[in-house]
Homo-oligomer: A and B are copies of this chain.
Amino acid sequence: MANPTAAMLVIGDEILSGRTRDANMYHLAGKLTEAGIDLNEVRVVADDAPKIEAAVKALSVSYDHLFTSGGIGPTHDDITADCVAAAMGAKIGIRDDARAILQAHYDRQGMEINEARLRMARIPDGATLIDNPDSHAPGFTLKNVHVMAGVPAIFEAMVAGLLPTITGGDPVLSTTVRVTRGEGDIAGPLGKLAANHPNLSFGSYPFQKDGRYGANLVIRGSDQTQLDAAAARLKDIFGTDAT
């Protein structure tokens, strides 16, 4: 059976302006691969309601799962929850379960739960909460859309809680052969090998080191024996240039 497919939507002006280097895409990509869920597409859009809604609609229809990152805090630019609700045709308001989590958190801190903080209890009808062990404002899953915070420590904690609840497929296995020849010398034999192994995927990732050209050849698939055989074949082909 084919693995479930997924997309990610990163929401935030700060990524597009170059102010912040995104960390969540790299984290999620690795975790989904381990879980046997195929990440097929990522989009990054600004804190702009029409853009967010259009992306949620397109990606939630095209893939089994959509994971979002960013825009669920208490400030005026945190509009993700409302946009996801609108895109998915759900109502949204302050929900008692989310409010109770926040109330308990702020009571422990001796802080007041004001209007801004209550924005973080806005959860669409029918959504399941995603636990936030860090700062407590929950994420949520609405149908196949999983809405999480953008702060990396919180995003990672939410992913860790969420992923075991999602049914994955076979983890994608990979093996890498490093070849110290130019890609132009590698391309011919590699292409033939790829054509002969339709259920493995072969990628070539060039590098330059100390003025010499080389490439990491990455073979991906779900059967370790097949991977090992293909890697051995590459080493036969490239001899002492392959490690």
List the interface of chain A (C-beta within 8 A of B): 13-22, 25-33, 39-47, 51, 73-78, 111, 113-117, 119-120, 134-135, 151, 153, 172, 174, 182-188, 190-191, 194-195, 201-208, 213, 215, 218, 220
A47 to B205, CA, bound (A): 12
A34's nearest neighbour on chain B, judged by CB, is B18
Known A-B contacts A43-B41, A45-B41, A174-B17; the reply to A204 vs B25 at CB < 8 A is: no
Q: In the bound complex, what is the Cα–Cα distance between A151 and B115 (angstroms)?
A: 47
This chain: copies in complex: 2
Which residue of chain B lies nearest to A102 when distances are taken between CB atoms in the complex?
B184
The contact sample of 24 A-B pairs, CB cut-off 8 A, is A13-B203, A14-B203, A15-B29, A15-B42, A16-B29, A16-B39, A17-B33, A18-B27, A18-B31, A19-B174, A41-B44, A42-B43, A73-B204, A74-B184, A77-B194, A77-B202, A111-B184, A113-B184, A114-B188, A115-B188, A116-B184, A116-B185, A117-B184, A151-B208
A201 to chain B, nearest CB (A): 7
Best-surrounded residue of A15, A42, A135 (most CB of chain B within 10 A): A42
Contacts of A153 in B (CB 8 A): 208
Answer whether A116 and B17 are a contact pair too, CB < 8 Å, given A43-B42, A73-B204, A208-B153: no
| A189 (CB) vs chain B CBs: closest residue | B116
B45 touches A76 (CB 8 A): no
Q: Which residues of B contact A205 (CB under 8 A)?
A: 14, 19-20
- Asked whether A204 lies within 8 Å of B13 as measured between CB atoms, the reply is no
A114 to chain B, nearest CB (A): 6
Q: Nearest chain B CB to A16's CB is how many angstroms away? A: 5
- CA of A205 to CA of B152 in the docked complex: distance in angstroms? 11
A125 to chain B, nearest CB (A): 24
